[in-house]
Amino acid sequence: MAAFDRAAELAFRRSAQSIGRRSALSGIGKLLVGGALLPVLPFDRSGQAHAQGASKPDANEASCDYWRYCALDGFLCSCCGGSVSSCPPGAEPSKVTWVGTCHNPVDGKDYLVSYNDCCGKTTCGRCLCNGNVGERPGYRMGVHNDINWCMANTQSMYHCTVSVLVGVADKK
């Protein structure tokens, strides 16, 4: 310990000889002022805002009544860490799907909506919806929504369902 004390004393003496008292005081002053200002500097917190936005879907999009879900049978990906049209991280969209037709009350048009299941994660279990507009019985598989569309994927486990707009329906 004595050797350490001696070495420290020697170092302090050397620095005291080479660094003037004024410059040492000005350095300490800068450190104190810098430390006090640091918390009020304008940090970019937009990353946090995006993260919060991602986990809280638009109220409409988390409700089975949202017009795009008129023929969706499954768990809403907007309640499972994804969005109305994108799978949550770690899940991939089904290669096959069924396409329904829903009426958008805002612009009065009918839209073709692809209901892709998101695959490769265990069932989400949140926001279960059962929309059946235009659905036909199960023996007509292509127009039936109560089917696990992950069946053609390598990972066939069903997680949730997205609603992707694929076009405007022809007028009758």
- Beta-carbon count within 10 A of 76 CB: 26
Please say if 149 is a catalytic residue: no
Q: Does residue 106 sit in helix, strand or coil?
A: coil
- 117, 146, 149, 170: which is the annotated catalytic residue? 117
> What would the x/- binding string for ligand ABN be over residues 91 to 130, using CB under 6 A?
--------------------------x-------------
The minimum distance between CB 117 and ligand ABN, in angstroms, equals 5
Question: Residue 135's closest CA among 108, 85, 101?
Answer: 101
# binding residues, ligand ABN (CB under 6 A): 10
Residue 135 is a binding residue for ligand ABN (CB under 6 A): no
- Kindly tell me which of 60 and 148 has the beta carbon lying closer to ligand ABN: 148
Cα dihedral 89, 90, 94, 98 sign: negative
- Kindly tell me which of 57 and 159 has the beta carbon lying closer to ligand ABN: 159
Question: Residue 164's closest CA among 105, 94, 107?
Answer: 94
- Kindly tell me which of 61 and 73 has the beta carbon lying closer to ligand ABN: 73
Q: Are 146 and 138 in contact (CB under 8 A)?
A: yes
Who contacts 155 (Cβ-Cβ below 8 Å, separation ≥6)? 92, 119, 120
Contacts with ligand ABN in 136-165 (CB under 6 A)?
Answer: 145-149, 158, 161
Q: Are 126 and 75 in contact (CB under 8 A)?
A: yes
- Kindly tell me which of 11 and 152 has the beta carbon lying closer to ligand ABN: 152
- 98, 107, 110, 149: which is the annotated catalytic residue? 98
Please say if 58 is a catalytic residue: no
Q: What are phi and psi of 94, to 5 degrees?
A: -65, 145
Instruction: Tell me which residues are annotated as active site.
Output: 98, 117
Residues that bind ligand ABN (CB under 6 A): 73-74, 117, 145-149, 158, 161
